Amino acid sequence: KGVNALTLVHPEDVSKAQAALAAVLTSNKATIAEFRFKNAAGEWRWLETIGSNQLLNPAIKAIILSSRDITEWKENAFKLAASEQQFRSLFENNPDMVLFQSKEGIIRDVNAAVLSFLGKVKPDVLGRPVGDFLPPETKLVCQNKLQEAFAGEKVTFDLETTFEQIGYKVLNISIIPLLADTEIEGFHLVVKDITEMSRAQNIIRQQAQNLNTIFESITDAFFSLDKYGLFTCINKAFEKLSGYGQEALINKKAADIFPEADFSFYYQQCRLALQKGRTVNFEVYLKRVDKWYAVKVFPSEEGLFVYLSDITEKNTVQEELKKLSLVASKTDNGVIIMDAEGQTEWVNESFTKLTGYSFLSAWGKKLKELLQGTKTDTVALQSMSGKMEHNLPFSEEIIFYKKSGEKIWLALDITPVTDELGKVSRFIVILGDITFRKEAEGNQAQMTQDLYKHNRDLQQFTYMVSHNLRAPVANALGLLDILKKEDKTSEMFDYSVAYLKTTIVQIDTVLQDVNTILSIRDKKDVFDKEQVSIGEVCSQAIQDLQELLQLCGGKVNMDIMRGPFVNANRAYLYSIFYNLLSNSIKYRSEERPLQVDIKCTGTPGRGTMISFTDNGSGFDVKKAGSNVFKLYKRFHTNKEGRGIGLYLVKTHVETMGGQIEVKSSVNVGTRFLIYLK
C-alpha cells in the first residue's frame, strides 16, 4: 500500500506499462499488453491486465486494474517459439532435400537443398504437384509409394533415374505421413542424393566380384584360418585337394578335420609363422594324393593365409635335370637346359667359363636377356624365337657378348625335348666358341677386298702407262729420230727441241701422279691420325686459295666453328678441302658469281657429315656413272685439267675410314657429302 505500481514493473516493460496506463486515462478502459511484475517473493511474473478509469466515479476515485497470472502460458509460448525456430533452422539448413506436400500431392514448402537441386526459386515450386519435377517414367513408382504411405507408415525407397537438366541420379526417398489426430494432413519428404555413394557401392561390388573371380581362378589351393584355427575361407582348388566342401570346413577347426598327428610338420610351421610374424615357406608331401606341395604361410592380425602349389612335376624335372647335368658337366662345350618357355633351368661349368655367367646369374633368364649386345643380329634372334615356338631343332651362328662385355661368336645347336604326350617340356642348347674361325673368315674377306682394290689400282696404273705415258714417250722417240737427221742450225731443229721438252714435261707429270697414288696406297694402313679441327683445316684451304677467289669474284660461306674435331690425317683433310675448292673455282659458271657453302653437322650412326656445295657449272651424274671418282676422268672439255683431283679426294676420304657421296646438276651446281668418324 502506498507503493508506486510502476516500480514493481520489469525495467524492460516500464515504457510499455506507462503507454498502456496513458491509454486507460484517455479511453476510460483498455487492455494492457503482457508485462512482467515482481511478486511478494521477488519473482518476475507475467501478467495480463485490463485497466478501468474510475477517477471520476465519486464512490471509487481510482484506476482499477484486473490482472491474471499468465507466466506458465508465456513460458510455454517461448518454448514453442524456440522449438519452431529450431525446427525451421534444421529444415532450411538440412543438407538433404526436405519438402512438405499436402495429401493431394501439392508442394507447400521446400528447403534450400531442394531449390539448389532443381535450380529453381521458391515461387516456381510452391503450389505445384511433386510430379511436375519428376521424369515421366518415375511418376507411377512414386505414386505407388505415396499410396503405401497413406497407411500411416514411413516408406523408404531408392529411385534411379535421369533428369533432363540434371543428369543421372540415384535418390533415397523417405515419405513420412503427417498426422493430425488420426487424419493424414500431408507428407514430409526427405530426399538424399546418393548417386556417388551408389557408384562407389557398384564399384565395390564389381571389385568384390572381380576379386572373387580371381580368387577362384587361382590354380593354387588356398585357405585362411582365424587366430583360433577355424577355417574362414577356401577356394575350389583346396576343396578338390582336401576332398571337403565349403559347408564341411567353414567355421570348423582345422585340427578337428586334419589331425595334428598326421600333419605335425605343417602345424609346427604355422605356429612358427604366428610367433615370428613373418612368412614361412616349406615343402610337404601329401600321401593321400601322392603329390608334393610348396606351402606359403602368411600371418596377419586375423590369422593365417595359406597357399599350396603343386610342385610334383617340378621335383620330377629336377631329378631328371640332375641326371642330364651329370652328363653335360663332362663336355667342353657350353650346355644350357631351358624350360618350354625358353627360360634357363641349368648351365654347365663350360658355359660359365665361356660367357662368365654363373648358374645363379643365368637361372630364369632367356638367352637374349643374358647375351644380346649392340652387334647381335636381331633378325637372327627373331628367327630363333620362331623356330622354338614351332618346336623345331636348328643351328645358328650369332654374335653374343660375355658378362665382361667382350664380343664372342657362338655356334648354337638347339634341340627340343618332348614328353610322353609329344609336348615340348624343355630345350637343350649346346654352345661352341667359333670366334677364331669367324675372325679368320673376316680377315680372309678383308684380304679379298684389299686384293680387289689392289687389282683395281693395278688397272689404273696399267691405263696410265699404256695411255698417258706411252703417247709422250712415243713422241719423244720420234722427235729424237728427227733431231738426228736435222741440221742443228735449222728452224726445224729448234722447233723439235722445244716440242721434245714439252713432251718430257708431260712424262714427268704422269710420273709425279704415279708417285702420288703409290705413296697414298703404301701409307694407307700406317698413316698417322690425330684429333683435327675441321674448321681450322677448312679455313687454311680457303686462305690459300683466297687470291684465286678474289680474281673470279667467288664467295665462300663456311658454317663451321673451330670444332668439331675428327680423328683424321691433317694433310689428307687439307687436300680434300683444297681439291674440292679449286675444282669449284676452275669449273665455276660463267652466268653467275661463284658461291660455295661449307657446313658440318653430326649424324646418327655415320659420324660427322661435311657438306660442300657450289653453284658452278655442274655435270651429268647419270652420264658420268661410276667414273666420277676414277683417275683421269674429266667431264668438262672446255677447261684444262688432268682428272686426278676427285680421285685423290675419294682416296683420302676412304683411307681415313670415311665415305663420300655426290649430287650434281648441269648449270645448277654440285654437292659433296663427306662422312668421317
At residue 564 the predicted structure's pLDDT band, cuts being 50, 70 and 90, is: confident
**Cα–Cα separations (whole angstroms), residue 555 to 595, 600, 601, 610:** 5, 18, 21, 18
Q: Looking up cell 511436375, which residue turns up? A: 132
Please check the confidence at residue 293 and state whether its pLDDT lies above 60.
yes
Please check the confidence at residue 167 and state whether its pLDDT lies above 80.
yes
Rounded CA gap, 631 and 618, in Å?
A: 19
Write down the pLDDT at residue 519. Answer: 58
Residue 9 DSSP code: B
Over residues 559-583, the mean pLDDT reads 85
Q: Which of 578, 588, 598, 587 is nearest to 645 (CA)?
A: 578
At residue 57 the predicted structure's pLDDT band, cuts being 50, 70 and 90, is: confident
Q: Is 571 helix (H, G, I), strand (E, B) or coil?
A: helix
Give per-residue pLDDT as tens, 256-280. 888 877 788 888 888 888 888 899 9
Using CA atoms of 578, 582, 584, 587 in order, give the dihedral in degrees to the nearest 10.
-150
Lowest average pLDDT, out of 125-134, 320-329, 358-367, 577-586, goes to 320-329
Give per-residue pLDDT as tens, 171-196. 898 988 887 777 888 888 888 888 88
Write down the pLDDT at residue 552. Answer: 92
Lowest average pLDDT, out of 8-22, 388-402, 622-636, goes to 622-636
Give per-residue pLDDT as tens, 30-51. 667 788 888 888 888 988 888 8
Please check the confidence at residue 602 and state whether its pLDDT lies above 80.
yes
408 has which bridge partners?
400
Please check the confidence at residue 248 and state whether its pLDDT lies above 80.
yes
Q: Which of 520, 513, 519 is nearest to 465 (CA)?
A: 513
Residue 545 has which C-alpha cell?
686459295
Query: Mean pLDDT highest for which of 210-219, 298-307, 502-511, 523-532?
Result: 298-307
Rounded CA gap, 242 and 463, in Å?
A: 94
Q: Which of 608, 528, 606, 634 is nearest to 571 (CA)?
A: 528
Q: What CATH architecture is 530-676?
A: 2-Layer Sandwich (3.30)
Alpha helices in 98-194 (DSSP H): 112-118, 122-125, 139-149
For domain 440-522, is the CATH number 1.10.287.130?
Answer: yes
Bond into 564 cis (ω within 30): yes
Q: Is 89 helix (H, G, I), strand (E, B) or coil?
A: helix
Give per-residue pLDDT as tens, 379-416. 999 999 899 888 889 999 999 999 999 999 999 999 99
Give the number of other Cβ atoms within 10 Å of residue 667's Cβ: 13
**Cα–Cα separations (whole angstroms), residue 170 to 99, 107, 165, 193, 208:** 18, 21, 15, 6, 21
Write down the pLDDT at residue 513. Answer: 54
Write down the pLDDT at residue 594. Answer: 94
The ranges of the chain annotated as CATH 3.30.565.10 are 530-676
Fold category of 5-77 in CATH: Beta-Lactamase (3.30.450)
Over residues 146-164, the mean pLDDT reads 87
Using CA atoms of 572, 574, 579, 580 in order, give the dihedral in degrees to the nearest 10.
110
Handedness of CA 642, 645, 646, 652 (dihedral sign): positive
Residues in the chain: 677
Percent of the chain with pLDDT over 70: 84
Rg (CA), the chain: 55
Residue 348 DSSP code: -
Write down the pLDDT at residue 357. Answer: 93
At residue 13 the predicted structure's pLDDT band, cuts being 50, 70 and 90, is: confident
DSSP 177-213: EEEETTEEEEEEEEEEE-HHHHHHHHHHHHHHHHHHH
Alpha helices in 9-52 (DSSP H): 14-27
Average pLDDT over the chain, rounded to an integer: 82
Please check the confidence at residue 364 and state whether its pLDDT lies above 70.
yes
Write down the pLDDT at residue 584. Answer: 92
Please check the confidence at residue 614 and state whether its pLDDT lies above 90.
yes
Query: Of 410 and 103, which is predicted with more confidence?
Result: 410
Residue 129 DSSP code: B
Please check the confidence at residue 314 and state whether its pLDDT lies above 90.
no
The ranges of the chain annotated as CATH 1.10.287.130 are 440-522
Over residues 585-594, the mean pLDDT reads 91
At residue 478 the predicted structure's pLDDT band, cuts being 50, 70 and 90, is: confident
Write down the pLDDT at residue 506. Answer: 58
Rounded CA gap, 658 and 55, in Å?
A: 137
The ranges of the chain annotated as CATH 3.30.450.20 are 5-77, 94-199, 218-310, 314-433
Please check the confidence at residue 115 and state whether its pLDDT lies above 70.
yes
Rounded CA gap, 171 and 193, in Å?
A: 5
Rounded CA gap, 475 and 469, in Å?
A: 10
At residue 85 the predicted structure's pLDDT band, cuts being 50, 70 and 90, is: low
Over residues 475-499, the mean pLDDT reads 73
Rounded CA gap, 556 and 615, in Å?
A: 11
Rounded CA gap, 473 and 478, in Å?
A: 9
Q: For 94-199, CATH number?
A: 3.30.450.20
Rounded CA gap, 167 and 144, in Å?
A: 24
Pick 218-310's CATH classification: 1.10.260.40, 3.40.50.300, 3.30.450.20, 3.40.190.290: 3.30.450.20
Write down the pLDDT at residue 204. Answer: 81
Rounded CA gap, 340 and 422, in Å?
A: 12
For domain 314-433, is the CATH number 3.30.342.10?
Answer: no
Over residues 291-319, the mean pLDDT reads 83
